[in-house]
């Protein structure tokens, strides 16, 4: 049977619950990693000592020790528009002792003149200070744990950092790629048109038809919606200064990015895209092909050209390397599956062009 709860009773229970939360918060003791940073690590100290580098909108951080002996950082975030929020990250004691020694001897470590000695103490405000010597007896593998944990916790650029980044992110880049389709069907078609005029007695010069498009130059915008999902928008053209050929393309690629490989800044990805691809191939002649008429005019063969285009899809796979924060390099390969295009030459001849091709490329990009 349900019993009614009066308003005064609800208010009384609310005070009890609030009191519990206050007691739990007050029971945690502040841990000072080093006198060089004090109880609160601010933006200036974070920048100088390179702490919490991957946490976006960082404002300040305080380390706490709970009654149960756990350690965590309470981090305040402040966005450019003034809005604030907070988060917590739990750390192991050996890791914090390692950070403390890192801060105490930062300049010597940076210059390579300091050898780790594992003697730094952590000052616990209102509690008992802790040193390596005290925990080694209880945790013989503590130093090994520091080495292991320092590679996995947020100071080491692992996924825990990435999850705290704000999305979406915008990156701009350029890349070069191959394009192996040589438009070989155009050469016999152009030659057949030339032969028609040769059979009529006109002299048409023989040309080596160069329809090679590689390499392609792409400009791209990469939008990162989450750790795993990216959208890549690209516009490309052939880079070679070739009067006989031109190529234009636009595409949208949806990428699924896997977790970074452990202890590295390497991220594999796969994707699929939809694009529009267009070409123009031509051979310029400028040969007279008729007698000179009384008025001085004559006919001549100026150019044979073929144009066309199609929409196609492709699958992509690649691997991304982070060179520096915000700057990356990506190697990829994909297969463009584009329907064959049937087009007409300037002389009216039908030509079928195979546009599908294997593509391999390298991209460099910068995230803002």
User: Which CATH number characterizes residue 313's domain?
Assistant: 2.40.160.20
Report pLDDT for 236. 93
Report pLDDT for 344. 58
Report pLDDT for 347. 54
Report pLDDT for 9. 45
Q: How far apart are CA 90 and CA 313, in angstroms?
A: 45
The reply to whether 335 and 186 lie within a common domain is: yes
Report pLDDT for 144. 53
**Residue 152 resides in a domain:** yes
The reply to whether 157 and 294 lie within a common domain is: no
Out of 137, 162, 187, pick the residue that ends a domain. 162
The reply to whether 235 and 269 lie within a common domain is: yes
**Residue 289 resides in a domain:** yes
Instruction: Please answer whether residues 116 and 101 qualify as being in contact, where contact means their C-beta atoms are separated by less than 8 angstroms.
Output: yes
CB atoms within 10 A of CB 53: 14
Burial string for 12-33 (b: 16+ CB within 10 Å, else e) reads eeeeeeeeeeeeeeeebebbbb
- How far CA 43 is from CA of 49, 158, 235, in Å, comes to 10, 21, 40
The reply to whether 181 and 289 lie within a common domain is: yes
Out of 135, 162, 189, pick the residue that ends a domain. 162
Report pLDDT for 23. 37
| Spatial CA neighbour of 120 closest among 109, 138, 141, 105 | 105
The reply to whether 93 and 240 lie within a common domain is: no
The reply to whether 150 and 92 lie within a common domain is: yes
**Residue 11 resides in a domain:** no
**Residue 2 resides in a domain:** no
What is the 3-state secondary structure of the chain? CCCCCCHHHHHHHHHHHHHHHHHHHHHCEEEECCCCCCCEEEHHHHHHHCCCCCCCCEEEEEEEECCCCCEEEEEEEECCCCCEEEEEEEECHHHHHHHHHHHHCHHHHHHCCCCCCCCCEEEECCCCCEEHHHHHCCCCCHHHHHHHHHCCCHHHCCHHHHCCCCCCEEEEEEEEECCCCCCCCHHHHHHHHHHHHHHCCCCCCCCCCCCCCCCEEEEEEEEECCCCEEEEEEEEEECCCCCCEEEEEEEEEEEEECCCCCCCCEEEEEEEEEEEEEEEEEEEEEEECCCCCCCCCCCEEEEEEEEEEEEEEEEEEEEEEEEECCEEEEEEEEEEECCCEEEEECCCCEEEECCCEEEEEEEEEEEC
- Give the number of domains in the chain: 2
Question: Bridge-partner residues for 314, per DSSP?
Answer: 273, 336
The reply to whether 344 and 298 lie within a common domain is: yes
> What's the domain range around 44?
22-162
**Residue 174 resides in a domain:** yes
The reply to whether 107 and 193 lie within a common domain is: no
The reply to whether 323 and 188 lie within a common domain is: yes
The reply to whether 104 and 232 lie within a common domain is: no
Residue-wise pLDDT tens for the chain (368 aa)?
Answer: 334 444 444 344 443 433 333 334 457 899 999 999 999 999 999 989 888 887 888 899 999 998 888 899 999 998 888 888 888 888 888 888 888 888 988 888 777 777 766 667 888 888 888 877 666 666 665 555 454 433 333 433 333 333 445 678 899 999 999 987 767 777 777 787 778 777 877 777 777 667 778 889 999 999 988 878 999 999 999 887 666 788 899 999 999 998 776 556 788 999 999 999 988 888 777 666 655 566 666 666 777 777 888 899 999 999 998 887 678 899 999 988 888 777 655 456 667 778 888 899 999 999 87
Report pLDDT for 343. 62
Residue 41 half-sphere exposure, CB side, CA atoms within 13 Å?
Answer: 27
Q: What is the pTM of this model?
A: 0.53
Out of 162, 190, 208, pick the residue that ends a domain. 162
| Spatial CA neighbour of 91 closest among 76, 120, 69 | 69
The reply to whether 149 and 178 lie within a common domain is: no
The reply to whether 287 and 329 lie within a common domain is: yes
């Amino acid at each position: 049977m349900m019993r009614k709860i009066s308003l005064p009773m609800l208010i009384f229970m609310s005070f009890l619950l609030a009191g519990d939360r206050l007691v739990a918060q007050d029971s945690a003791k502040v841990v000072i990693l080093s006198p060089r940073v004090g109880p609160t690590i601010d933006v200036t100290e974070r920048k100088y000592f390179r702490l919490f580098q991957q946490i976006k909108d960082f404002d300040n951080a305080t380390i706490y020790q709970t009654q149960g002996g756990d350690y965590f950082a309470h981090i305040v975030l402040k966005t450019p528009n003034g809005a604030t929020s907070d988060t917590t990250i739990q750390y192991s004691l050996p890791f914090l002792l390692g950070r403390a020694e890192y801060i105490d001897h930062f300049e010597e470590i940076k210059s390579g003149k300091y050898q780790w000695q594992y003697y730094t103490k952590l000052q616990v405000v209102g509690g008992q200070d802790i040193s390596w010597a005290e925990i080694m007896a209880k945790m013989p593998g503590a130093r090994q744990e520091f080495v292991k944990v320092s590679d996995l916790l947020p100071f080491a650029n692992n996924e825990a950092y990435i999850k705290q980044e704000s999305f979406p992110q915008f990156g701009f880049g350029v890349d070069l790629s191959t394009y192996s389709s040589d438009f070989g069907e155009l050469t016999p078609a152009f030659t057949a048109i030339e032969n028609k005029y040769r059979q009529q007695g006109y002299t048409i010069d023989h040309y080596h038809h160069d329809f090679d498009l590689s390499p392609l130059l792409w400009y791209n915008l990469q939008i990162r919606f989450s750790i795993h999902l990216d959208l890549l928008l690209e516009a490309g053209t052939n880079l070679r200064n070739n009067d006989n050929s031109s190529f234009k393309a636009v595409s949208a690629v949806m990428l699924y990015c896997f977790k970074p490989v452990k202890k590295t800044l390497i991220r594999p990805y796969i994707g699929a895209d939809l694009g529009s691809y267009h070409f123009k191939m031509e051979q310029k002649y400028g040969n007279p092909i008729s007698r000179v008429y009384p008025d001085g005019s004559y006919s001549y063969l100026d150019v044979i050209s073929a144009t066309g285009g199609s929409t196609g899809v492709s699958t992509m796979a690649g691997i991304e390397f982070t060179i520096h924060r915000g700057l990356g390099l990506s190697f990829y390969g994909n297969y463009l599956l584009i329907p064959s295009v049937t087009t007409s030459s300037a002389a009216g001849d039908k030509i079928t062009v195979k546009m599908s091709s294997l593509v391999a490329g390298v991209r460099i990009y910068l995230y803002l």
